[in-house]
Amino acid sequence: MNPLLQDFNTAPFSKISNTDYKPAIKKAIKIAKVEIEEIVNNSEKPSFENTTVALDFTGEKLDRITSIFFNLNSAETNDEIQKIAQEVSPWLSEFRNDITLNEALFKRVKSVFDIRETLDLNPEQKMLLDKQYKGFARNGANLKEEDKNKLRKIDTELSKLSLKFGENVLAETNAFELHITAEKDLSGLPESVIEAAKEVANSKEKEGWVFTLDYPSYIPFLTYADNRELRKKLAIAAGKKGFQKNEFNNEQIVLEIVNLRHQRANLLGYTTHAHFVLEERMAETPENVIEFSNELLAKAKPAAKKEFEELENYAKKLDGIDQLQKWDGAYYSEKLKKEIFDLDQELLKPYFKLENVIDGVFEISSRLYDLKFEEVFTIDKYHEDVKTYNVTDTNGNFIAVFYADFHPRKGKRNGAWMTSYKSQQIKNGVNERPQVSIVCNFTKPTETKPSLLTFNEVTTLFHEFGHALHGMLANTTYKSLSGTSVYWDFVELPSQVLENWCYEKEALALFAKHYETGEVIPMKYVEKIKESASFHEGMQTLRQLSFGLLDMQWHGQDPTKISAVKEFENEAFAETRLYPDVAENSMSTAFSHIFQGGYSAGYYSYKWAEVLDADAFEYFLEEGIFNKEVATKFKENVLSKGGTEKPMELYKRFRGKEPKPDALLKRAGLI
């Protein structure tokens, strides 16, 4: 029996073999199609219950199976799983199109939508109906048959291309290694980084030390290695991903993706892909995004230029370097930061043992939102590194299942993300609770040391956990509006706001304890962490804005005339460039956020959400960072509400007013 087709609560990972996926997905599509047919063939007049609600409950089995499959394709993949992904992705995009282009179904949805004013619906019901109708209209339901077929072709092609894009980036990441055999070349690197590189070398049965393009290896090397030539070698290798004359080149794929997206938008009656995307975002239009970005750019650019000049002078004074290059930035920045703030990231790491940080984020969530986390060993998992927890509230009510997967390995993509295995919803009077997961890439424990996090990794853990809280505390009726199913430029608010607790001494005192002595992190370090938080914030802001503006350039205009990825990119970066260009590097060919993830025409939302998060946290600072009243307001109006109302309405209900960028600019030291 296929374990994926049985009824299960948590994913039956240990029972699944790769051969189960395709038949299970095929069968689940069939089941979902039958559910759709039942709605279409219902002889009763279309109503909110028999059409809108019924449609939201369809495809549950398919959702559960594909969430398992695609989560593993990111966290624990192999050649076989990647091959299955290439095969099943077109099936799924065809199935989605079968729904959105099903005329009889759309007719029912539209007839309910047309009488919405007479139905006495609550805000959540209105939102569900609106979202459903737009789901059809924005996916071609109002198109002529011939155009519907064009749309299907485009969608199938796009799903294949974005998968291929991601596979190429992963292949290029895995293909490169910096193999060091001379000990002098390790100069400047912290002991823990050297030890980790030794273990990688051992695992590859090589002498010496191996550094890779995985972030826990790559970032420390660029930050600490004294050997400039080797930093250059590693940085150029990272920048070349998808931009080499080999089978993993992504240039053509990038051009095909942006052109297909543009065609798709035109077909649906939108000027560009960005116009299409932003209709369903807080920002609303490309013009608003550009205006928002330029407003921040005007504040950040003078600061960034000044910071860059200071850094360049510092590198010149220290090592006689005339021209600061991309592989010098992190290195001299870290040295200068250490000099100004007398703050060494390596000195902080012993206070951030992974287990303590996890306990810390749990304790903070408990104080704010009355949650309890209990590690359990009875839940099936896909890798021995994964930790599993039952989450309850302080009254013992079950809230969620939580999975956490913290360390890099061969089948796992870079970065950190939150995902879910089951959405929360209320069905047949039962509040079905969610199953949520976070996946990160933190340094593994070694024989002599536990996993000790950099401060940056601590904030990453809090960030992903903020997303997880959004998923776990979901309390809505319909699954398609639950948890993180919100406007994309609102989704980063819960994650980014939680990062703020990492900088507060009251919060740090709970978990930042030396792994050997148990001593709480000295307050002078906390002061320095706070002071240094806005160090080079001008350059950081400029960098983020440059990515957002590049994304808007790709998606906010007609791309048919673009022939060279690199040339186009250079023009897009003209206003935000600080470092000299590296001819053999390209950002776009490995810009997975916009070409593989869901951030196309949406990368600006990181900065957008920062404005929200700084404004929201200011409220906590005014009342106390563990103030129950503010926390409850945030939980009730933001974390539990999902996408049941327009985000700005929810935000104003929590905050009492609209957000302003002042809190962010103040925090960043830009005003």
pTM score, two decimals?
0.83
Tell me the CA end-to-end span of the chain in Å, nearest whole number: 64
Query: If residue 14 lies in a helix (H) or strand (E), which one and from where to where?
Result: none
- Kindly state the average pLDDT of the residues 140-144: 91
In the numeric block, which tokens belong to residue 301? 């650019």
Whether 484 has a pLDDT exceeding 90, the answer reads yes
Does the pLDDT value for residue 255 go beyond 90? Answer: yes
In the block, tokens 């091959």 appear at 83
pLDDT of residue 655: 97
* Residue 41 structure tokens: 């063939």
Q: Is the pLDDT of residue 344 over 90?
A: no
Please enumerate in sequence order all residues whose Cβ is within 8 A of that of 210, keeping only pairs 6 or more positions apart, or say none. Answer: 177, 178, 179, 180, 197, 200, 201, 204
Domains plus CATH for the chain? Answer: 3-142 (1.20.1050.40), 176-239 (no CATH), 261-323+534-671 (1.10.1370.10), 350-528 (1.10.1370.40)
Rounded Cα distance between 247 and 529, Å, is: 44
Residues carrying an active site annotation: 464
Q: Residue 418 in contact with residue 468, Cβ under 8 Å?
A: yes
Selection from 473, 373, 465 nearest residue 423 by Cα: 473
What distance in Å separates the CA atoms of residue 184 and residue 628, rounded to the nearest whole number? 54
Q: What is the pLDDT of residues 646-666, one digit of tens each?
A: 999 999 999 999 898 889 988
Q: Do 169 and 178 touch, CB atoms closer than 8 A?
A: no
- Asked whether the predicted pLDDT for residue 120 surpasses 90, the reply is yes
Angle between helices 123-137 and 103-114 (to 10 degrees): 140
Q: How many CB atoms sit inside 10 A of residue 115's CB?
A: 11
pLDDT at 439: 97
| Alpha helices, DSSP H, located in 342-432 | 345-348, 354-369
User: Is the pLDDT at 84 greater than 90, yes or no?
Assistant: yes
The pLDDT of residue 446 is above 90? no
CB 11 within 8 A of CB 436: no
SS3 178: strand
Going along 368-429, which residue ranges are E strands?
371-375, 387-393, 398-405, 417-422, 425-427
Give the Cα separation of 609 and 484 in Å (integer).
Answer: 14
| Residue 343 pLDDT > 90 | no
